């Protein structure tokens, strides 16, 4: 798909690409990592969470690399949403961070966070040995979005990154999150 296509009309088209390139990685990870024997959520719910983590990671990866991809003539952004903010490919290639670009980026970041939020429910359903690395990667990738914000949405000339200290500080937090047991009651039955 990547060799044939370098523009995507809308998020639906992009979602298919994200599914192929990253969602599948999440799905394949579940049987390797294992589901907690005490989990009471359906396998489908857990696989969906894994898929959403793959999509969230890929969305973040794309948002971090917009400038780099543009230098290779590639735009992995929804064309209709660019248009909604008065933008087009030319604006991506010109690398000028305008108010329109910032507003566009805010929406893209919101979407990536939404997928990470969906994935969270599944992380503690995994076998306990797998939870810490999954929480760590989820948190570290989510921090790339914060870094794009801290760069005032300039992902056209700057590459967002998370410094070593911030990364190290996230690890104990991820560890603490990994300690909580899987839900035994699905969220929709607990209220």
**Binding positions for ligand GRG, rule: CB under 6 A:** 22, 25-26, 29-30, 46, 49-50, 53-54, 57-58, 61, 65, 119, 122-123, 126, 134
Q: How far is the CB of 50 from ligand GRG (least distance, A)?
A: 4
Give the CA count within 13 Å in the CB-facing half-sphere of 115.
27
* Residue closer to ligand GRG, measured from CB, 85 or 141: 141
Q: How far is the CB of 100 from ligand GRG (least distance, A)?
A: 25
* Residue closer to ligand GRG, measured from CB, 25 or 140: 25
| Nearest residue relative to ligand GRG (C-beta) | 122
53 SS3 class:
helix
- Name the token pair of 77: 């952004």
Q: How far is the CB of 190 from ligand GRG (least distance, A)?
A: 19
* Residue closer to ligand GRG, measured from CB, 16 or 88: 16
* Residue closer to ligand GRG, measured from CB, 51 or 87: 51
Tell me how many degrees the CA angle 16-18-24 measures, rounded to the nearest 5.
95
How far apart, in whole angstroms, are the C-alpha atoms of residue 162 and residue 115? Answer: 20
* CA–CA distances in Å: residue 30 to residues 8, 14, 58: 29, 23, 17
Q: How far is the CB of 134 from ligand GRG (least distance, A)?
A: 5
In eight-state DSSP terms, residue 35 is: B
Q: How far is the CB of 84 from ligand GRG (least distance, A)?
A: 25
Instruction: Provide the 10 A C-beta neighbour count for residue 113.
Output: 16
């Amino acid at each position: 798909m990547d060799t044939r296509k370098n523009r995507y009309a809308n998020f639906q088209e992009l979602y298919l690409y994200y599914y192929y390139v990253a969602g599948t990685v999440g799905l394949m990870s579940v049987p390797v990592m294992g589901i907690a024997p005490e989990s009471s959520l359906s396998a489908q719910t857990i696989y969906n969470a894994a898929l959403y983590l793959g999509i969230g990671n890929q969305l973040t990866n794309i948002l971090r690399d917009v400038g780099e991809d543009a230098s290779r003539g590639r735009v992995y952004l929804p064309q209709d949403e660019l248009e909604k903010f008065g933008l087009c490919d030319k604006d991506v290639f010109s690398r000028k961070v305008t108010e329109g670009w910032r507003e566009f980026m805010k929406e893209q970041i919101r979407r990536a966070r939404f997928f990470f939020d969906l994935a969270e429910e599944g992380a503690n359903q995994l076998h306990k040995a797998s939870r810490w690395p999954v929480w760590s990667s989820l948190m570290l990738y989510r921090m790339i979005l914060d870094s794009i914000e801290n760069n005032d949405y300039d992902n056209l000339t700057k590459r967002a990154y998370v410094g070593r200290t911030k990364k190290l500080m996230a690890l104990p937090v991820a560890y603490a999150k990994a300690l909580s047991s899987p839900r035994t009651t699905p969220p929709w039955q607990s209220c």
